[in-house]
Amino acid sequence: MNLAEILRHGRQNYPNAVALHHGRHHLAYAQIFRDVENIAMHLVRSGIRPGQTVAIDIQPPISHWLVLLALMRIGAVTVSLTSRFGEEIATLPHISAVVTGASTKHSYDPGLTHVHIGADWLREPTDMNAGLPSPEEAATTVGRIAFTSGTSGRPRAIFLDADRLRQRLAGTAERTLIDTRSVLWCGLGPDTAYGFTATLAAFLAGAAIVFSDGGSGSYRGMVDQHVNLILASPAALDALLRDAHAGDLPRLRAIAIVAGGRLTKQMRDALRRRICSPVMIAFGSSEAGGISLGDSDGLDRHPGHVGLVFEDVEVRIVDANGADLPPGEVGFLKVRSNSLAPGYLNDGAATQDCFEDGWFASGDLAVLSDDRTLTVTGRASDVFNFGGVKVPAEEIDAAVREFGTVLDACAVPLPNDVSGAQFGLVIVGELPPLEDLGGHLRSRWPTLPRFLVSRAQQIARNPMGKINRSALGVMVETARLDTPSSEVAAAIAVVGLA
C-alpha cells in the first residue's frame, strides 16, 4: 500500500469508473489522478515539502479531498480544520502552512504560510522549477493528524505516522464492508478519523463516493447514484431522515453503518422504515481506531450494544484501581490495537491520564461478555450517582425522549446550584407535565433527587452528535442565576421528590 498514491489502483484498473459524485460533478479515477498530480505540483511550487504539517481549510468536500490527496502525494502530514480552527491551530504550533479555497472565511496569523488554491490549479503547471518527490519517498513521510470527537471541551490531537496509518487502513475496508462495487455516502467528514480512513479505503478499493451534506436534496442524489453503503453519525442521519421524509422516493438497497454516537432504537427503526436495512453499529475511537461492529438488533437487548470486538483488537474491562473485571461486570474500558496512537500531541497531562503501557483508557463504561460482545453503558464522566445508584446520563436522556412532545433532551451536571437540585434537564420541544415527568423518571430510578428543568431551542452537538454536558450545565446555571443565555432559556422549575 503506497499512501502517496492512493488512487493508482483505481486509475490502473478502473480508469473510467466514477470515483467521486458531488452534485453535477462526476469524476472518474483517471481524471482525479491527473487532478491530484497537478494540484500537488502547484503545492510544491508554493513551497510545500515532504514531512511538513499542512492544514486544510476548504469547505466543498470534493475540493477538500483533492487537496488532501495532493498533500499526501507530496508526503506531507495533513490535518483538516473545522469551525474550531483557532483552537485547533493553537494545539499544533508546528503547522507549516494552511491551504485555503474560495469558500474559506477564516483569518490566520500573518506569520503562518498561507497557500490559496486557484481556479487554474487543475491545469498542469508549465513553469515548474521543482518536481514532485517520488511516490516511494513521499510514502515514508506522509501522516495524518486528527482531533478527537469527544466532549472534553477543547481539541485533543492525535498523530498517525505512515506505519500506523497503513495499519489502520489495512482493516478499514473489510470492517466497513467496502469493496469495488460499493457506492459510499460517508456522512463523517475528513476531519474525523473514521471518515478519513473510510474514504481512503474506498479509494483504495476502487469504490465510488457520493459527497453531500445530508440536507435538502441529498437523499434524492443518493437514490439517483444508487448508494449502497452509508457510513454516518446519528446527527448526520437525523438530517438525512428529515430530507428523505420530504420527498416521495424509494428506500435504498443499502447497508447503514452508524458510528460516532449512540444509535437509539427509535432512529434504527426510522432508518429501517424510510431509508434502508440492515443497520449496523460501529464503535471505535480516534485514538485506537475501530473496536467493534454489530447488528443493531442487539439494541433490543441493551441500548449500549456495539457488537463483537474485532479479533486483532484487545479489550479489558477494569475497576477503579485498574484490576481486570470478569465478563459481565461493568467497568472502565481499555483498548490496545496495532494502530493505537502513542498519545496526544502537545498534551502530556492528557496523555498520562489516558495512555499507559500500550493501552488506551477510553473514558467509557462498558461490559464484555464471554463471546467478546461489547456493551457500552455510558461515559464515565457522564454518570450520575443518586444515593449510591449510578445512572448513565444517556439513559436519562432516552427516558425523557419517550414523551411524545419532547424532541430532544439532555441531562447535565449543575456546578453551583443552590436550590437543592442535583442535576438539570434541558428539553427541546413541549414540556410534559412536571408531575408526570418526575413520576416517569422515578418509576425507573426511585432515588432520583431534585432536578432542574430548562428549555432550549436546540441542544448543541459537535459534528459527531456528541454533547459537552459540563459546558451545557454551566449554561443552565448562567441562565437561571444570571443573564439568560441565548442557547438555554431560564430555568422554569425545580422538580422535587414525589
The confidence score (pLDDT) of residue 182 equals 96
The verdict on residue 128 lying in a domain is yes
Average pLDDT (351-377) is: 94
The verdict on residue 15 lying in a domain is yes
The confidence score (pLDDT) of residue 121 equals 84
State yes or no: pLDDT of 485 exceeds 50: no
The percent of residues above 70 in pLDDT, for the chain, comes to 92
pLDDT tens-digit series, residues 408-422:
899 988 877 656 778
The confidence score (pLDDT) of residue 125 equals 66
Helix ranges, 160-230 (H): 162-175, 193-205, 218-224
Same domain, 341 and 458: no
- Domain coverage including residue 254: 3-368
Same domain, 453 and 489: yes
What's the DSSP call for residue 297? Answer: G
Bigger pLDDT: 465 vs 278: 278
Of the listed ranges 95-104, 183-192, 407-416, 486-495, the least confidently predicted one is 486-495
Banded pLDDT at 150 (limits 50, 70, 90): low
Same domain, 158 and 272: yes
The confidence score (pLDDT) of residue 322 equals 93
Same domain, 361 and 451: no
The confidence score (pLDDT) of residue 471 equals 77
Strand partners, 330: none
The verdict on residue 247 lying in a domain is yes
Same domain, 351 and 485: no
Are 233 and 188 in contact by the 8 Å Cβ rule? The answer is yes
Same domain, 228 and 175: yes
Rounded to the nearest integer, the mean pLDDT of the chain is 88
Give the integer Cα–Cα distance in Å for 468 and 306: 22
Same domain, 286 and 185: yes
Average pLDDT (185-207) is: 94
pLDDT tens-digit series, residues 428-460:
899 888 888 989 998 988 888 888 888 888 887
State yes or no: pLDDT of 52 exceeds 50: yes
Strand partners, 412: 424
The verdict on residue 260 lying in a domain is yes
The confidence score (pLDDT) of residue 457 equals 84
How deeply is 255 buried, as exposed, middle or buried, from its count of CB atoms within 10 A (0-12, 13-18, 19+)?
middle
Residue 429 falls in which region: left (phi positive, over 0), alpha (psi -120 to 50) or beta: left
Helix (H) or strand (E) holding 138: helix 135-141
Same domain, 397 and 362: no
- The last residue of one of the domains, among 334, 368, 402, is 368
The CATH number of whichever domain residue 458 belongs to comes to 3.30.300.30
- Asked whether the bond before 278 is cis by omega within 30 degrees of 0, the reply is yes
Same domain, 334 and 450: no
The confidence score (pLDDT) of residue 276 equals 97
Same domain, 201 and 55: yes
Banded pLDDT at 126 (limits 50, 70, 90): low
Please report the sign of the dihedral spanned by the C-alpha atoms of residue 258, residue 259, residue 261, residue 262. positive
Same domain, 56 and 205: yes
The CATH number of whichever domain residue 141 belongs to comes to 3.40.50.12780
Give the integer Cα–Cα distance in Å for 311 and 1: 22
Beta strands in 33-83 (DSSP E): 53-57, 77-80
Please report the sign of the dihedral spanned by the C-alpha atoms of residue 424, residue 425, residue 431, residue 432. negative
The verdict on residue 405 lying in a domain is yes
- Which distant-in-sequence residues (6+ apart) come within 8 Å of 362 by Cβ? 285, 287, 288, 333, 334, 335, 354
Residue 270 falls in which region: left (phi positive, over 0), alpha (psi -120 to 50) or beta: alpha
This prediction's pTM: 0.85
The verdict on residue 382 lying in a domain is no
The percent of residues above 90 in pLDDT, for the chain, comes to 56
The verdict on residue 374 lying in a domain is no
State yes or no: pLDDT of 483 exceeds 50: no
Looking at the 3D structure of the chain, how many domains does it have?
Answer: 2
Same domain, 304 and 425: no
Q: Which of 345, 311, 497, 488 is nearest to 414 (CA)?
A: 488
State yes or no: pLDDT of 90 exceeds 70: yes
